[in-house]
Amino acid sequence: MTQLDYIAIAYFVLLWALFNWVTGVSRKFNRLSVTRGMAIHRAAWIRNSLNRDLKMIDTQIMAGLQNGTGFFASTSILALGGCFALLGQTEQVQAIFADLPAVFHTSRAAFELKVGGLAAVFAYSFFKFGWSYRLFNYCSIMFGGLPMQSEAEKDPEGARRAAEAVIAMNVIAAKNFNAGLRAIFLSIGYLGWFVNAYAFMAMTTFVFFVLIRRQFFSEARDAIVQGIEN
C-alpha cells in the first residue's frame, strides 16, 4: 500500500458521500433528482389508494418492490462469497496480474486488503438490501391497515395520518434500497484498484458522473418529474 493508494480510497469514500449528499440529503438544488421525484410519486400513489377499496394493484406493486429487493440481496451475498473465494486464490490471481504490463504489482497483503475492501462494499449493500426488504414487509402490513374508502370519508384526518405513515415507511425502504444499489454501482469503480490507484480514481469518477447524469439529466428523470415541477 502506497500513499497514492490511501489517497485513492479516500477519494472513493469522498465521492460516495458526496453523491449521497447531492441526491438525498441536500435540498439546495433547484433541479429535482430521480430519488426525490420518485418519493413524490410514492406519496401520490399511496394517497390515491385511499380512494379505492380494491387494492389488488397496490399489493402487486408492493410485492414487486419486495421481490426486486430480495433479488439484489441475493446477488450481494453471492458477490460477497465470491470475494472470499478470491482470497483463497490469491497466488493464482497474482500470477495472472504479473503478465499484465499496466498493473502496478503489490504485495499479497495489499491484494488481500483490496479484496477485503471489496467484500466490505458488498457486505454493506447486503445489509442495506436486507433491511430494505424488511421495511417493505413492514410497509405492506401498514398498507393493509389503511382504512377503506367509506371509513376514510368519515375520518379524513385519521386516514391522512395512516397514509403518511405508510408513505414514510415506503420512502425509508426505498432509501435503503437505493443505498445498496449505489454500493453495487460504485463497486465497479472499486475494481480499478486491482489495476492501480490511477485506474481506481478514474473509474470511480466515471461511475460517479454516470450516476449524477442518471439522477439529474437523464430521460428517465425527465419522465419522472413531468407534471411535478409545473
User: 95-105: per-residue pLDDT in tens?
Assistant: 766 666 655 56
Nearest to 157 by CA among 171, 167, 169, 147: 147
Percentage of the chain lying above the pLDDT 90 cut? 60
Instruction: Round to whole Å and give the CA distance between 180 and 72.
Output: 8
- Cα-Cα-Cα-Cα dihedral sign, residues 53, 59, 62, 64: negative
How far apart CA 56 and CA 18 sit, in angstroms, is: 39
Q: What is the mean pLDDT of residues 181-202?
A: 92
pLDDT at residue 109, rounded to an integer: 81
Give this prediction's pTM. 0.88
SS3 content of the chain, % helix, strand, coil (to 5): 85, 0, 15
In this predicted structure, which of 24-28, 53-57, 211-215, 220-224 has the lowest mean pLDDT? 24-28
